[in-house]
């Protein structure tokens, strides 16, 4: 399977980068090809351009500034996102990736009858998120209602593709995680992605 792995963390030595490395090595070890898109290292600009916004509902969306990243998404059969959760949400750079790359004519079409959107990412069969958060499990799930999972599964994934293998694997209480807990999580990630 051709997998686009999107890493969204500003620090090269972050735990998110360690998770991405472990997942990439495991996937490649099982015969998958992995295209690692490190948003910070590649200088991705998360800001929607004036031309992109102006053409959002036009017959032809102006995707010229994001064309390279769009091609990589369209070439993939699977998408694996690796990112921290900040303020119970995506890092801004990852939100910008969705805004600019999951664009009209790429990830979806506007239904001319109004309201709904029509999924276009039929090439994507697998959509996983490998994430970490400083909050304990109970705060994320019981108090906040797991907003990142809801946005990914019900909003982005479901609106852009059908019949997906969706999964979100999270390390909670990251700020207080011991080295042993982090190592166990990396082993969990390796074990789970080895089943892809």
Do the beta carbons of residue 169 and residue 130 sit within 8 Å?
yes
Q: Alpha-carbon distance 47 to 115, whole Å?
A: 25
pTM of the model: 0.94
Q: Alpha-carbon distance 195 to 189, whole Å?
A: 10
Q: Domains plus CATH for the chain? A: 2-193 (3.40.50.360)
Instruction: Tell me the per-residue pLDDT of 135-184, one tens digit each, with 9 for 90 and over.
Output: 877 877 788 778 898 999 988 988 788 889 999 999 999 999 999 999 99
Do the beta carbons of residue 20 and residue 130 sit within 8 Å?
yes
Higher pLDDT, 25 or 174: 25
Q: Tell me the pLDDT of the chain averaged across its residues.
A: 92
* Residue 140, pLDDT score: 74
Packing angle, helices 92-101 and 67-75, rounded to 10: 80
Neighbours of 50 (CB within 10 A): 9
Do the beta carbons of residue 14 and residue 83 sit within 8 Å?
no
**Of all residues in the chain, what percent carry a pLDDT higher than 70?**
99
* Residue 36, pLDDT score: 98
* Consecutive H or E run containing 190: helix 179-193
Do the beta carbons of residue 5 and residue 36 sit within 8 Å?
yes
Residue 50, pLDDT above cutoff 80:
yes
Higher pLDDT, 60 or 116: 60
Residues 188, 194, 195, 196, CA torsion sign: positive
Half-sphere exposure of 76 (CA within 13 A, CB side): 26
Q: Alpha-carbon distance 78 to 31, whole Å?
A: 14
């Amino acid at each position: 399977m051709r997998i686009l792995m999107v890493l969204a963390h500003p620090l090269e030595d972050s735990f998110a980068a360690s998770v991405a490395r472990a997942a990439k090595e495991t996937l490649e070890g099982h015969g998958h090809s992995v295209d690692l898109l490190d948003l910070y290292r590649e200088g991705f600009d998360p800001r929607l351009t004036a031309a992109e916004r102006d053409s959002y509902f036009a017959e032809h969306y102006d995707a010229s500034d994001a064309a390279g990243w769009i091609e990589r998404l369209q070439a993939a059969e699977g998408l694996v996102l690796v990112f921290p959760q900040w303020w119970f949400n995506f890092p801004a750079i990852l939100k910008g990736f969705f805004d600019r790359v999951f664009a009209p004519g790429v990830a979806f079409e506007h239904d001319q009858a109004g309201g709904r959107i029509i999924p276009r990412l039929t090439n994507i069969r697998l959509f996983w998120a490998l994430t970490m958060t400083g909050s304990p499990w109970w705060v994320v799930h019981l108090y906040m209602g797991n907003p990142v999972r809801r946005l990914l599964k019900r909003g982005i994934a479901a609106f852009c593709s059908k019949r997906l293998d969706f999964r979100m694997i999270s390390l909670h209480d990251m700020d207080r995680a011991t080295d042993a807990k982090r190592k166990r999580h990396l082993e969990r990630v390796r074990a789970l992605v080895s089943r892809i």
